[in-house]
Structure 1
Amino acid sequence: MSAGCNSGYAMRMLSAGLFLLALAILPATPLPAQPAPADTADQRFQAIYEKEWNWRKQQFPGLDEDKDGAERIRRLPSVDAATQRERLRVWDDVLRQLDALSVAELSASERINFAIYRPQIVDLAADIRFGAYEAPFNADSSFWSELGFMTRKPLRSVEAAEDYIARLNDIPRYFDEQIVNMRAGLKRGFSVPRAVLPGRDASIAAVAELTDPRASEFFNPLKDLPASMDVERQESLRANAEAAIRDQVIPAYARLLTFFRDEYMVKARKTLAAEALPNGKAFYRQQIRQFTTLDLSADAIHRIGLDEVARIHEEMLATMREAGFEGSFADFLVFLRTDPQFYPKTPEELLMRAAWIAKRVDARLSRFFGLLPRARFGIEPVPADIAPFWTAGRGGATTYWLNTYDLPSRPLYNLPALTLHESAPGHSMQLSLADEQSGQPAFRRNGYISAYGEGWGLYAEKLGIEMGIYTTPYENFGRLTYEMWRACRLVIDTGLHSKGWSRDKALAYLRDHTALSEHEVTTEVDRYISWPGQALSYKLGEIRILALRAEAERELGADFDIRAFHDAVLAQGSVPLPVLDEQIHQFIAERKQTAEAKRAQTPSPAPVGAQ
């Protein structure tokens, strides 16, 4: 649910497509002229967010790149410091306007919109205020690798091909601005930790060291132009793309590679903690609020994590015994990590098993959901250039990306939980439904709030039990491993960024508590080190959704309908957890009132023997 965004982590999560937003930006421009004065609080608020959203689309035309009528995109993000300051000025002004409104005068629907919109603007502004754009990548994703996602979109017209080539020619300017920002970050001690940098230069070198432009991934979209396009025009476009890759793209990656190896890896900070950054305690607290939507301290989150780890470990022991394993827990983890029966032999086997699981889920969805999305998703392997450092899978509205790199680290017993989380009823389904909520403002349909989205994904894994998706104790242990993994994140993230944990301590904690492979343990811990706060959203979001379901079941009793509950959760789009609380409490009250009214209208049965 995140590419190449100018403002780092906050902007990474703006789009429901997760990695496909903001592939282009125009230079910062002032907001449009003020509209005529509005009469009501609703109208004043709507004028603010509609005006800001239209401005945001000018800044980030990639926000609606796949929508009908989307503007042509010929530039990559402007990320220079002056542009950042101008955007901060605009968002600070929006916050002043919002704070001048009387929220009590807003209608119920606009109060919900306000509770979603204001934190969104706060996060965008805070990300720039802390200077997060000076560290514009992490161990999981990077601005240079994410450019590869623009090669996945077919070029269906001459104009689309010309725009694509223009973006290729803009890569040197884009990289130069990023390098200036990273140098500024190095100077003030705001950088990605040195500990996670080794090997991250490989994806830069993969492009920088190319000798044949037509062998580049960036040339791929030109290979399959529409047959309706004039042959001579096709060849002209291919020649222009080849020149752009040879003269602009490859040299830009080469300069970035030199900078990365000779400067960044040498000068990057030796500390790990977010709290060790300039103004680090405030920065980490903001990251916690941004990714969890809750006002929790690092200490409180750490305690929640420890409690969850203890609870899940008992379930894992019970499942191990159910599988008939007689050794210790540590022995069982070794068995799961090493026995060949649990691992695919080919990428195709992994992809096909995931597709089979997804279709089994598909057959059961209507029993648990009343509203299903019109859109469909496909399953694709993670692109080779980013696969070594990516997670096992990731889901967007249209694609479930499955990592086929290093097959001995991709156990099949984890695949049902992964597929439920990333595809349906997890991310792909939730994001598609959010996009289809035509009655909601664009800032909601195109937004992604990690605590809600990742919490729902983890809830979807547990729902797989009721759906009958886990068929063996090993698959259920894989589910528990994934739940334990998310609980460990609460402990590790706060341990690393607030309690002085070392990388080795974090690696050992995740290794000892889960059946994740060593490759996954390493890539995950490095992700937490370089992306503070994001890992907290999964478990805290799931805990809240499970609590709301338990409350609904308790309050409604026999009137509880699982399909209606799920529809109520998903109808919200992507919302902060406190907003979800409010909406589900309203759902419970309305369902209870409806059920009581229906019973009141139903005549009581006549007494036995009455005439």
Structure 2
Amino acid sequence: MNKTLLALTISALVAMVGCSDKETSASQAKTSAPEQTVAPQVQSAEQEYLALVDRYFNDMLKLEPMYATFVGVNDYNDQFGGDLTEEYLKSRHELNSRYLKAVKAIDRSALPEPLQLSYDMFTYDRNMALVSETFPSYFMPMNQFYSTVITMVQLGSGESAQPFNTVKDYENWLSRLSGFINWTKLAQARMDEGIASKVVLPRVLVERIIPQLEAQLVEQPSDSLFYAPITNLPESFSEEEKQKLTQQYDTLIGKELIPALASLKQYFQETYLPVARASDGWWGLPNGKLWYQHLANAHTTTTMPVDEIHQIGLDEVARILSEMDKVREQVGFKGDLKAFFASLSSEPQYFFSERQGLIDGYMVLKEKINAVLPNYFNVMPKADYVVKPVESFREQSAAGASYEAPAVDGSRPGVFYINTYNLKAQPKWGMTTLSLHEAAPGHHFQIAIKQELTGVPEFQRFSGYTAFEEGWALYAEYLGIEMGLFEDPYQYFGKLSDEMLRAMRLVVDTGLHAKGWSREQAIQYMKDNSPMAETDIIAEVERYMAIPGQALSYKVGQLKILALRAEAEKALGDKFDLKGFHDQILTSGSLPMAVMEQKIHRWIKAQGAKA
């Protein structure tokens, strides 16, 4: 929904609940007797809440114009945003404080049950945001895994959320790109502050960033990935418009963007790299252990201590190793489990020899999975998804696979990205579980269905909690067993291998950031307990170093969903409806774990009453 429609929604709500002061005065002027004056109607809690969160969503989009583009609101496509400025930090604090105070003034008990869930989400978000801003994350404004540079390259390629359909669209991007050029200077200033405060990235992550920036430093503007929209100018543009835009893009990319990126690269190489920290985990930062506990809580949406999470990881690793050994015995492999890992990781029959073969294999698998989905789901996304290789400029540091949401307006499908850089890191036996996780019924179902929801506040359609989203995707892998997709023991081993990755993450992430583990220690632990390719393991460990706590969310979220399903099955017996359970999980958007638990408990009670 665009900003105008949101504003109309708010106006309609106000119109429903009473007159404006001006209209009231006019009404009183026409009335001779005071007792005949009609008092303005009082808003119900529901009307007040819906109006409040819509106002919040509008205000938030103004503050976060890049986010607005990704959710399909194009009113701010010419703006980059000022996420590193003092003005932005002050405005963000004021926004969250003001709306937290306002929502607390609404009587939650007077809201219908679905909006009570929404209320809990909204309150949770504002509280967590206010805690998050007490830690100086803006001193480390980019890393090798998630960075504004990578986002801007994707947007500027013309194959992401930024539209390039009209002359105005092209002009909007030029304006946004100018804002990004200024951001590269602000980023250096913030990193200077980080150096002074000893809040800096680990050395190895800086070493990964430098070649990513180097890849953008082309000799001619036309060789830049940012030039792609000019090579695809719409036929409807006049020759004069095409010439003007081409000249503008040539000038901005050649004279401003590439020099700015060169300056940023030089800064990382000459100024930042020499002072990057030797410690690999968050414990090496000022107040780092407390900061990491917050990040663990934020990503898992729980209050679990990191020591407890570490122990769960150790227990899960032991359990999955036992299951893996059973598969080794089933297929008749004569060596031990470590030799089985080595065989699966090296023998040619387990890998594609061509990149396109890997992509084609996932397309075949897509059709196989799609055929059985209606047996397990009432609600499925309207949007489709496509399978694409990761772009060449980021493939060396990107994860093995990822998912990008479809366009909100339906103009672009979801994207299941496969990293084809190292085919030895993409074994055939891991394909089924990876597709289930990243595409259908994993991320594609959860995220696309959330975006397609109607009758819920806009913030709820676009909020996200890693534990819910990744927990669902890992649950989707588990569901593949019931769907009959793991009858091949090697594909089942692939499922166990991916589950092992998520269990190891609990151990390694907490080990790195709370227990003083080194990068090398984390890499060795993963090599000892899985058949993953070494390049994949290194990319994983460096990812945990860059975004601490995020990797904890997968297993924690999956275990919670499985526990809630087991609780429902036990309570309802033969009245348990698996499709209905999946509806409950997927049709309120992404939820914090505690809020999701409350929803499922109410559903169990309601289903029991029906029975």
The answer, yes or no, to whether TM exceeds 0.5 is: yes
Aligned match of 2:451 in 408, 431, 435? 435
Question: Which residue does the alignment assign to 1:389?
Answer: 397
Match among 60, 63, 77 for residue 59 of structure 1: 63
| Match of residue 133 from structure 1 | 138
Distance 1:68 1:535 in 2: 28
1:71 aligned partner? 75
- Runs of 4 or more, structure 1, over 6 Å off, are 35-38
Distance 1:529 1:67 in 2: 28
Instruction: Classify 1:316/1:330 alpha carbon distance in 2 versus 1 (closer, same or farther; 3 Å).
Output: same
Q: Which residue of 2 aligns with 1:370?
A: 378
Equivalent of residue 203 in structure 2, options 158, 178, 194: 194
Alignment of 1:316-465 (within 5 A): 316-397=324-405, 398-465=414-481
Kindly tell me: are residues 189 and 100 of structure 1, through their superposed partners in 2, closer, same or farther at Cα, counting changes over 3 Å?
farther
**Closer/same/farther in 2, CA of residues 124 and 358 from structure 1, 3 Å limit:** same
Does 2:250 correspond to 1:234? no
Q: Distance in 2 between matches of 1:66 and 1:354?
A: 26
Other structure's SS at 2:392 match: coil
Asked whether the equivalents of residues 283 and 516 of structure 2 are also in contact (C-alpha less than 8 Å), the reply is no
Give the deviation of 1:275 after TM superposition. Answer: 3.0
Instruction: Return the letter of the residue paired with 1:280.
Output: G
What is the rounded CA distance, in whole Å, between the counterparts of 2:289 and 2:46 in structure 1? 37
Structure 1 Cα separation of the partners of residues 344 and 563 of structure 2: 32
Structure 1 counterpart of 2:350, one-letter code: F
- Secondary structure of the residue aligned to 1:201 is helix
Aligned-pair CA distance for 1:525? 0.6
Shift of 1:100: 4.6
Q: How far 1:355 sits from its partner (Å)?
A: 1.0
For residues 70 and 195 of structure 1, the distance between their equivalents in structure 2, rounded to whole angstroms, comes to 38
1:223 aligns with 2:242: no
Q: SS of the counterpart of 1:197? A: helix
2:188 paired residue number? 179
Identify the range of structure 1 (362-371 vs 502-511) with the bigger mean alpha-carbon deviation. Answer: 502-511
Q: Distance in 2 between matches of 1:285 and 1:391?
A: 24
Q: CA deviation at 1:568?
A: 1.4
Alignment CA distance shift 1:321-1:434 (3 Å): same
CA contact (8 A) 2:62 2:76 kept: no
CA contact (8 A) 2:279 2:518 kept: no
Aligned equivalents of 2:314 and 2:345: distance in 1? 24
Q: Deviations over 1:278-322 (max 9, x none)?
A: 222321121111100101101111111111111111111101111
1:103 to partner: Cα distance: 3.6
Deviation at 1:72, TM superposition (A): 4.3
Verify the 8 A CA contact 2:65 2:81 in the aligned structure 1: no
Cα distance in 2 between the residues matched to 1:49 and 1:282: 31
3-state DSSP of counterpart to 2:568:
helix
Instruction: Note closer, same or farther for the CA distance 1:510–1:198 as it changes in structure 2 (3 Å cut).
Output: same
CA distance in structure 1 between the aligned counterparts of 2:128 and 2:250, rounded to whole angstroms: 40
Do structure 1's residue 117 and structure 2's residue 136 form an aligned pair?
no
Letter aligned with residue 225 of structure 2:
E
Could you tell me how far apart the structure 2 residues matched to 1:202 and 1:273 are? 22
Task: State the Cα distance separating 1:175 from its structure 2 match.
Answer: 0.8
Of residues 260, 264, 277, the one that matches 1:269 is 277
Q: Mind listing any 5+ residue stretches in structure 1 that lack a counterpart?
A: 1-34, 597-611
CA contact under 8 A between 1:193 and 1:270: conserved in structure 2? yes
SS of the equivalent of 2:93 reads helix
Q: Structure 2: how far apart are the matches of 1:578 and 1:514?
A: 32
2:517 counterpart of 1:501: yes
Q: Which whole-Å CA distance do the structure 2 matches of 1:364 and 1:350 have between them?
A: 22
Structure 2 residue aligned with 1:260: 268
Q: 1:477 aligns with which of 475, 479, 493?
A: 493
After the TM superposition, which of the residue ranges 35-44 and 585-594 deviates more from structure 2? 35-44
- Equivalent residue in structure 2 for 1:85, among 86, 90, 102: 90
Deviates more, 1:237-246 or 1:148-157: 148-157
User: Percent of pairs identical after alignment?
Assistant: 32
- Amino acid aligned to 1:60: E
Name the CA shift for 1:510/1:68 in 2 (closer, same or farther; >3 Å).
closer
What do residues 149-172 of structure 1 show as CA deviations (whole Å, max 9, x unaligned)? 102245111111111122223332
| Cα distance change on mapping 1:560 and 1:107 into 2, 3 Å | closer
Give the conservation status (yes or no) of the 8 Å contact 1:88–1:129: no
Structure 1 Cα separation of the partners of residues 199 and 374 of structure 2: 49
DSSP-derived class of the 2:280 partner? coil
The count of aligned residue pairs is 560
Q: Which residue of 1 aligns with 2:410?
A: none
Q: CA deviation at 1:101?
A: 4.6
CA positional deviation for 1:40 = 4.3
The residue that corresponds to 2:252 in the other structure is 244
Paired residues of 1:79 and 1:178 also in contact (CA < 8 A): no
Is the contact made by 1:413 and 1:478 (CA closer than 8 Å) also made in structure 2?
Answer: yes
Q: C-alpha root-mean-square deviation of aligned residues, in Å?
A: 1.9
- Partners in 1 of 2:194 and 2:51 — Cα distance? 37
Report matched runs for 1:296-307 at 5 Å.
296-307=304-315
Q: Secondary structure at the match of 1:65?
A: helix
Q: In structure 2, what residue type is equivalent to 1:423?
A: A
Q: Does residue 157 of the first structure (1) align with residue 166 of the second (2)? A: yes
- Does the 8 Å contact 1:288/1:533 carry over to 2? yes
Counterpart in 1 of 2:574? 558
